[in-house]
Structure 1
Amino acid sequence: MSDRTVLITGTSSGIGLATAVAAARDGWQVIATMRNTAKAGALLAAATEAGVTVEVRALDVTDPASVAACLAGLDRLDALVNNAGAGHLGTLEQESVDAVRAVMEVNFFGVLNVTKAALPLLRASRGRVLTVTSVGGVVGQPFNEAYCAAKFAVEGFMESLAPVAATAGVSVSVVEPGAVASEFVANVGLTDDAPRQAGPYAPALVAYLDRTRAAFAGAQAPEDVAARILGLLTAERPAFRLLTSDAARAFAGTKLKDLDGSAVQALTAGWVAP
């Protein structure tokens, strides 16, 4: 049995499920978490088909008590993959501030809750934190205001944390996929009559949805993203930023010239060097 342990959030489907199976195949002890363990069927079936086992634990990333209970009893943790998140479509004038706060709770504060709780164990193992963000954490996108705000916040937080955590032996990376073939888009809660309800923004929403459907027609497979995450888990010197596909690199490249984050890390590491 491997003594390498990884905890992965949001493993009931998509990237999280594929990453849990890929890590188990590579010999990791996998703690696969999800808010509702009744939805573990697809993960367990995939693990069985792959000839591996994973440990499923309940975890609501927005609830600090749930986070503490999930990590309770762990003697060792070598890596954390923050993958849990929720999509959201909407525009400010037509949604409540509470709805925006809810997006931030899942996609930003949820990441912080789990990372904060895991850091003592990761310091002990000189482990690593990998956080799945999005190209939406680099480039703001129409009707994704709250979602992109949360992902921008995660990117800024992790980029700032990375040089500090490195002084204690913990590496921090962000993983930025583009369009991925998963249930993520289906879970944004957009109804068929959304364009009608969009009022003055209806033409813009229709155009956005047409463009998005076309983009997802050629979406990256979750297993492909998982393979890249596994590469970060095992790399001797993991990059801070990983864009998971050519499409993601091209899109983010419109804003980023420092694609692997090394120049920023070299600068800010000097600010905390003893």
Structure 2
Amino acid sequence: MTAEHGIVLITGTSSGIGLATAVAAARAGYTTVATMRDPGRDRALREAADRAGVAVDVRRLDVTDADSVAACVDGVAQDYGRLDALVNNAGISNFDPTMEMSTMAALRANLEVNFFGVVAVSRAAMPLLRAGGGRLVTIGSVHGVVGQPFNEAYCAAKFAVEGFMESLAPVAGAHGVQVSVVVPGFVPDTSFGVFPDINRSTIQAASGPYATTFADYLAWVGGQGWEAAGQLSAEVAEVVVDTLRADRPPFRVPANAWAADYLGHKLADRDGSTVQALARSWIGQPELP
């Protein structure tokens, strides 16, 4: 795929990694369809695009609304006649421990956005991606591989995304669509990097028998925690664009050295190539076409 002629749709572009990726993709020459649940929140994106001297096509897409997903993807097909890449970025943070302190409604809401939303947009876009031999890139998380204390709901959703995409990748690859999951470290300039005081005090007060454990966790977060893992949204965005442009990107793409080392605590197959090769052999595709 040549950057100069690629149409890329990116979800969740009102801030953070999504915003940075929309700008980076446009700078790389992609025609960028930047989507968000509320287009009225597009000011930061448009200002960033203006500073970069690029244009983005802002459209509404609520990943939890089937009609919204269909309307957006159909609109791209009608207006551009193709879709070369999808970047699943939209998501919500959920620092709300499931065991005893959260609700089933909160758990389901988290999964609806962070997992089912990814599936819904990917399903809608797949016919267009398949028609053009496109790319499907999803923003994952180290929390989708290594479980994080007091982040059960978010980790559950990201584990689900990782498993879904790992299972999809060899089948999609056999039909011309390359699937990758970009795994950032800690990104402090996003809402995911913010740890609101209200969450600290509220959860601490409600933590009951887990109070001392939660206090120890907060001390770790506030001490060494994720600071050593820090990278900016723009740095993650460049990794996403590089993944879109690579001839044969790996399935799993750590966004920095810290993420790669962190995944190494659990994964021997850090970039997913061994599992993908094995899975391709099961469907008569020992090599990518």
Per the alignment, do residues 125 and 187 of structure 1 end up closer, same or farther by CA in structure 2, a change over 3 Å counting?
Answer: farther
Q: 1:207 aligns with which of 216, 219, 225?
A: 216
Alignment partners' CA distance in 2, 1:120 and 1:103: 27
**Residues 130 and 174 of structure 1 are in contact (CA less than 8 Å); yes or no, is this contact kept in structure 2?**
yes
Alignment partners' CA distance in 2, 1:271 and 1:262: 14
The superposition leaves residues 118-176 of structure 1 with CA deviations (integer Å, 9 ceiling, x where unpaired) of 00000011001000010000001101111101100110010000000011100000011
Q: 1:236 aligns with which of 223, 247, 254?
A: 247
Q: Kindly provide the amino acid, as one letter, of the partner of residue 3 in structure 1.
A: H
Q: TM-score, normalised by structure 2?
A: 0.91
Deviation larger for 38-47 or 194-203: 194-203
Alignment match, 2:194: 186
Alignment partners' CA distance in 1, 2:216 and 2:82: 49
Alignment partners' CA distance in 2, 1:38 and 1:210: 38
Alignment match, 1:257: 268
Per the alignment, do residues 22 and 56 of structure 1 end up closer, same or farther by CA in structure 2, a change over 3 Å counting?
Answer: same
Per the alignment, do residues 2 and 187 of structure 1 end up closer, same or farther by CA in structure 2, a change over 3 Å counting?
Answer: farther
**Residues 86 and 187 of structure 1 are in contact (CA less than 8 Å); yes or no, is this contact kept in structure 2?**
no
Alignment match, 1:222: 233
Q: 1:84 aligns with which of 90, 93, 107?
A: 90
Alignment match, 1:125: 132
SS of 1:77 mapped into structure 2: coil
Q: How far off its partner does 1:209 sit?
A: 2.4
Alignment match, 2:17: 15
In the TM superposition, 1:149-160 aligns within 5 A as 149-160=156-167
SS of 1:72 mapped into structure 2: helix
1:94 aligns with 2:105: no
Q: Percent identity?
A: 54
CA RMSD of aligned residues (A): 1.6
Q: 1:40 aligns with which of 31, 39, 42?
A: 42
The superposition leaves residues 179-230 of structure 1 with CA deviations (integer Å, 9 ceiling, x where unpaired) of 1121224388725332112122122222222322343444211111111111
Deviation larger for 243-252 or 198-207: 198-207
Q: 4+ runs of 1 displaced by more than 4 Å?
A: none
**Residues 176 and 244 of structure 1 are in contact (CA less than 8 Å); yes or no, is this contact kept in structure 2?**
yes
Q: Kindly provide the amino acid, as one letter, of the partner of residue 176 in structure 2.
A: G
SS of 1:220 mapped into structure 2: coil
1:70 aligns with 2:88: no
